[in-house]
Structure 1
């Protein structure tokens, strides 16, 4: 690659001098012989102080002006280096656009992100939740802060996104923000979604996340075994509050219904089928997707136990999620369960131990959990070693019945 001469110089725009002789300072960026762009340095300098593209003199004011000019020059050269490292033909206009956080007619990352959030907000209460909206706003704030701290920019064009940008963002989240690996995964996934939307809209064609793999936290067991469930059901707790929280958690374990949907259940969501089976039919608060679950004996007993104890026709009198999780950890200690128990573990337990572990097909589990994609169910439905061993034994017996080997 031929070495391209890049030069940043400064001059006064004397035609816009004010009554005190203060003139705007302009920057002129030259890339090679034929590419040039000018932009405001956002400074005003007395014409009498200006000499050969710098503020003259040794005053504090002159030093401040020259320091700022040096910063602008360094940023411009740095932006050119970033862009030219990943593509050829970088122009002065490209550098100017990235440096100023503008992109002319190009779509910008944060501008597009804001539009995405505005459209997302319109769907809250329809098929999106307020919590998801807050999550995207938090992701936006992290990207905005990164651009300001790393590049001193308010925005960048989508064309400037590359793998180097993604790696730097990941490093920023880990070292500057000191975030946990799971949080970093969430934030980068949300940025991936924005980038994916931009690709779908034809704004960019190159996927900047190609080859990127975030550091993943060590996978923790997020479901209870049948033996642990038995301990929760039989261990004395001595406090009515703990018994209530235990019962609510067990209901989730045997139905897969998460906290946000469970607290909204009412008598209207119960229905009796012709064969005498009771069902819960509702829709996910998070996505609006309908789900229907046949009730086993234990959840039916819990419903009966708390009948008419909750206001407004609700099925259960429930504490806040934070109170539930705090007390579940206490229950786990009493039951000698060695994991940081939270309410959402009930949903994982239903998918893994109650349904999949007893031979319910993954497609059926996905329908009962209210998932739109079976890939989502696979995250919950961790196949236990016992299930693998049992399936292997059944397969071995079937093969032995059909085939014989003459030795």
Structure 2
């Protein structure tokens, strides 16, 4: 089987397994780069024969070394090495190749540091103020944007979960919000606080759309991740706070971790994480915290 055919087979398998579109796109990109590298060295006589069965362990080690010295960030190089490792693991499991030449492929050692960004209370306040004072925006848009930011930062939803949120998912009596189809098609309930409820109610009472979705565009259609990202980018510019949609989810995770004394199982359940390892970033000092500590002890 040719390398490109094998990559297509693997990408189709990822889609069938329910991997997110972002994950599938990432693997496709990384493996396309690997395929291009193989084609290049093959044209120079670096690989005898053809197809995935001709790819030997030493060839993959050369590729890993190429990535580690290519100038790419260590995290990027390691991600591409892991993509190749999982790709050949799949081919071996499916019987496309007899043995897995990538089984011992090693990533570049990197000291684990937390580069995730979350906002402090002052920054969140500035963002919410920007919602209410953004120029050239009508009252409905200002109200919608504030409700949208409140749900993201106070409920920790992913942008896709926010867009899919429906009116029936809001339980004001129980103060719970239901995510029916989270990452990995997982269902969960999230606390829906009074301040966030009030912001959402104000928006819903004001809008005229009959849509079953909570957040809609000015035309009344279901909002999209791209539309939400556009709102966030605008608010970032107005408020002067550098943040993204995911920064708000991280802010929620960090605040829950701090409030519960670092109980990762609580944070994982609220965020819908599959493993505790994903949640560990919220109890790992951020670069901002490390910088603040270093500045505090710096000699002048």
Measured against the shorter chain, the TM-score band is 0.7 to 0.9
Q: Distance in 1 between matches of 2:116 and 2:24?
A: 28
Give the counterpart of 1:119 among 5, 8, 13.
13
Within the candidate set 82, 85, 103, 1:189 is matched to 82
Q: Structure 1 CA distance, aligned partners of 2:257 and 2:16?
A: 37
Question: How many angstroms does 1:265 deviate by?
Answer: 0.6
Aligned counterparts, 1:289-368, within 5 A: 289-307=186-204, 309=207, 310-317=209-216, 319-337=223-241, 339=242, 341-353=243-255, 355-359=256-260, 361-368=263-270
> In 1, Cα distance between the equivalents of 2:82 and 2:143?
38
1:323 CA drift (Å): 4.3
Provide the C-alpha distance between the structure 2 equivalents of 1:157 and 1:242, rounded to a whole number of angstroms: 58
SS at match of 2:245: coil
* 1:89 paired residue number: none
Q: Deviations over 1:289-337 (max 9, x none)?
A: 2221011122212221222635530011255434433443442343342
Q: In structure 1, what is the Cα distance between the partners aligned to 2:282 and 2:93?
A: 29
Aligned to 2:129: 234
* RMSD of equivalent CA atoms: 3.6
Instruction: Work out the number of aligned pairs and report it.
Output: 267
Counterparts of 1:131 and 1:345, CA distance in 2: 17
Give the structure 1 partner of residue 175 of structure 2.
278
Which structure's relative contact order is higher, taking Cα pairs within 8 Å and 6+ residues apart?
A: 2
**Alpha carbons of structure 1 residues 115 and 336: separation in structure 2 relative to 1, 3 Å:** closer
Aligned to 2:272: 370
Deviations 1:28-69 (A, max 9, x none): xxxxxxxxxxxxxxxxxxxxxxxxxxxxxxxxxxxxxxxxxx
When residues 266 and 320 of structure 1 are mapped into structure 2, their CA distance, relative to the original with a 3 A threshold, is: closer
Q: Counterparts in 2 of 1:41-56, with a 5 A limit?
A: none
Q: Judging by fraction of residues, say which structure has more helix.
A: 2
In the alignment, does 2:166 pair up with 1:266?
yes
- SS at structure 1 position matched to 2:185: coil
Query: Do 2:167 and 2:212's aligned partners in 1 also have CA atoms closer than 8 Å?
Result: yes
1:138 to 2:18 alignment = no
Give me the whole-angstrom Cα distance separating, in 2, the residues matched to 1:377 and 1:312.
34
Task: Give 1:120 shift.
Answer: 2.4
What TM-score do you get using the length of structure 1 for normalisation? 0.55
CA spacing shift, 1:295–1:200, aligned 2, 3 Å: same
Q: Please, what TM-score do these two structures have when normalized by structure 2?
A: 0.72
For residues 358 and 263 of structure 1, do their structure 2 counterparts lie closer, same or farther at Cα, with a shift above 3 Å needed? same
Which structure carries more strand by proportion? 1
Bigger Rg, which one: 1
Unaligned runs of 5+ in 2: 218-222, 290-300
| Structure 1, unaligned runs of 5 or more | 1-101, 103-107, 388-407
Distance 1:350 1:270 in 2: 19
Go from structure 1 to structure 2 and tell me whether the alpha carbon gap of 1:121 and 1:206 turns closer, same or farther (over 3 Å shift): closer
